[in-house]
Amino acid sequence: MNNDKLWQQHIGEHDNGLFLLGTIDVPIFLLKISDGWALIEGSVEPLAPLILRQLENIVKDLEDIRYWFITHSHYDHIGTLSLLYPLLPNVKVFVSEATKRALCHPKANEVTYNLTQSLYNIMPEAEHAQSPLLETKVPLADIPVEVLEDGQEVHFDSNHSMMALATPGHAKCLLSFYEPKYKRLYVSDTLGEMVSPIRWEPLIFQNYNAYINSLRILQKLNVEQLVLGHHGILSGDLAQNAAQRAESDVARFIKESEHVFLTLDKDIAKTTRYISEKTRDSTATFVSKKLHYNGTLLMLKLAGVIPEVELIE
């Protein structure tokens, strides 16, 4: 089958009760369940007004949204929580233990705030929240959450559930979610950044060995649909083989980066700048140039390509 048919990028309804909302680059997912709806991912704050309009058009009564699964604590995956949570009176928010700690950590929330503010300058779809949405905004630390452990399931009914899978490496707090009923896997950033359905750029921001181990864990699953943290939904062989491709592309990335490092006379700044500029196009609408540079620098260090260095402040 043509890859275009196996890579879905449209906003709106997909297979088996799944809706992609927000934008293709920074989505949030809405899932129809037996007694209402569930959300997966948290997108970014500047998309909250858009996402609220989309939810109201589909759900009608926001009281019917009962579950919200957060993959990890990075700013582009928790951004709408503070604005939308107060409007969802029956929702339960599920996170990892490490994400729970991050949501209550003043320094982490300061970083989230600063990165979020940068989005208003680079996102074409960015909107500042207005009343009444802005008036009910709550601090992240004040949002009650329930912790999910690795392998723990949340049951929607007798034959429909969501399973949490600990997949660190990109972030210590990262959970992927698996929906056994539809063999659907929500990977967030576990596999890295998809450049095309058959090419991935790694996003190793926490630990190299954990990253590779997470990819190998996901390779063992039967996956018919792969829901990405950015850039859409894969099906068929593209979904089943994605984790294996992502692992192979880690090795490719390291080999190519080592070549660049040697070619540029082991100049760390030049190497990082070259690789960052080469790989940042797919994230340019929601990751600032400086943040991408620092992320690339950290990843090159964690992957053993360059020695440990200080990040740009």
pLDDT band at 78 (very low <50, low <70, confident <90, very high): very high
Q: How far apart are CA 225 and CA 127, in angstroms?
A: 31
Q: Take residue 223 and report the two structure tokens written for it.
A: 């996956």
Beta carbons within 8 Å of 220's beta carbon, 6+ residues apart: none
What is the mean pLDDT of the segment spanning 155-173?
98
Query: What is the secondary structure of 265-279 as a DSSP string?
Result: TT-HHHHHHHHHHHH
Pairing of strands 12-13, 18-22: antiparallel
CB distance 146 to 94 below 8 Å = yes
CB distance 302 to 204 below 8 Å = yes
Element (H, E) at 225: strand 225-228
pLDDT in tens, 261-288: 999 999 999 999 999 999 999 899 999 9
pLDDT in tens, 180-206: 999 999 999 999 999 999 999 999 999
Among 201, 215, 207, smallest CA distance to 302 is for 207
CB distance 156 to 33 below 8 Å = yes
Backbone phi, then psi, for 280, in 5-degree steps?
Answer: -90, -5
Is pLDDT of 311 > 80? Answer: no
2 CB burial (10 A radius; 0-12, 13-18, 19+)? exposed
Beta carbons within 8 Å of 172's beta carbon, 6+ residues apart: 98, 206, 207, 210
What is the structure's pLDDT at 310? 54
Neighbours of 289 (CB within 10 A): 14
pLDDT in tens, 15-28: 999 999 999 999 99
Pairing of strands 92-95, 65-69: parallel
Is pLDDT of 3 > 90? Answer: no
pTM: 0.96
